[in-house]
Structure 1
Amino acid sequence: MPKRNDLNQFGRFTEPAVLILISLAECPRHGYAIARDIDQVTGYKPGPGTLYGALGRLETRGFIRPQSEDHIDGRCVYELTSTGQKALSERLDAMAAVGRIGRNRLDGCPV
């Protein structure tokens, strides 16, 4: 069973959640700016339902929070929390470990 601060709890929404956290690790952003950043970095453009659903789940679990009551052009600006930083760091470490294993196997596999 996933821990409360484990990104695995998001199931099929884990990838969008990770991408949102990566975007917010750079700086606070509103939803549209998060989507634009994700698109620029990955070429993947999350739809509004995916984006705002993931933002809601991340906020509910304490990984992100609205940045005070200030809004940019009427949009809520989100920032990463310390819980979100920890969860993202753990997830990136796990992804890096899997990447190293995959690369080692690929490099050692005769074609």
Structure 2
Amino acid sequence: MKSCLVVDDSRVIRMVARRILEQMSFQIEEATDGKEALEACHKKMPDAILLDWNMPVMNGIDFLRALRSTPTGGQPVVVFCTTENDIAHIREAIEAGANEYIMKPFDRDIIEAKFAQVGLV
């Protein structure tokens, strides 16, 4: 079973993403900010990360840069899931190492399509 770390400061978003991803047969871990997510990745690197941009403590882009600089940080597929939808944010995320980008709000069809594009399903 593949694993996915859902990183978002919104409990509702984490709950919705968890429900969708569990239906897609992913084992789910959750983090409320980038610092917590980085700690989780140091313990056990997930196959995928669904990542919010705007969070307290450490935001998503700073987390992604820190993750990609670690020895095994290139392994997980990172899909940004955020309300930041301008081209500058998308470009910055891709340049920092994101594999794909989803706009909020999202549904199962969107997540399945993006995860299929990056080879997770």
Bigger helix share: 1
Of structures 1 and 2, the larger Rg is shown by: 1
User: Larger relative contact order (C-alpha < 8 A, sep ≥ 6)?
Assistant: 1
Bigger strand share: 2
